[in-house]
Amino acid sequence: MAKKKGYRPKGPIQILASIGLVIAILWTAKGLFQAGGAGYKEIKNKVSSSSGLPVLKCVANDKTHTDIIDLQLLKDNNPPQANLKKLGKSNNVSYEHIMVDDKEYFINYKRHENGYSKGYILKINRNTGVAEYIFPKSLPITSTLAENIDAMMEAKRFFGVCEKAKRKKL
Average pLDDT over residues 141-148: 86
**Does residue 83 fall inside a structural domain?**
yes
Give the total number of structural domains in the chain.
2
The pLDDT of residue 103: 93
Is residue 154 domain-resident? Answer: yes
- For residues 42 and 107, membership in a common domain is answered with no
The verdict on 117 and 76 lying in the same domain is yes
User: Residue 5 falls within a domain, yes or no?
Assistant: no
Q: Domain for residue 153, yes or no?
A: yes
Taking CB atoms within 8 Å and a gap of at least 24, the contacts of 152-160 are: 157/132, 157/133, 158/60, 158/61, 158/62, 158/132, 158/133, 159/60, 159/61, 159/130, 159/131, 159/132, 159/133, 160/58, 160/59, 160/60, 160/61, 160/130, 160/131, 160/133
The model's pTM: 0.62
Q: What angle do CA 100, 58, 126 make, to 5 degrees?
A: 35
Could you read off the pLDDT of 81-129 as tens digits, one per residue? 656 666 666 667 777 888 898 899 999 888 888 888 888 989 999 999 9
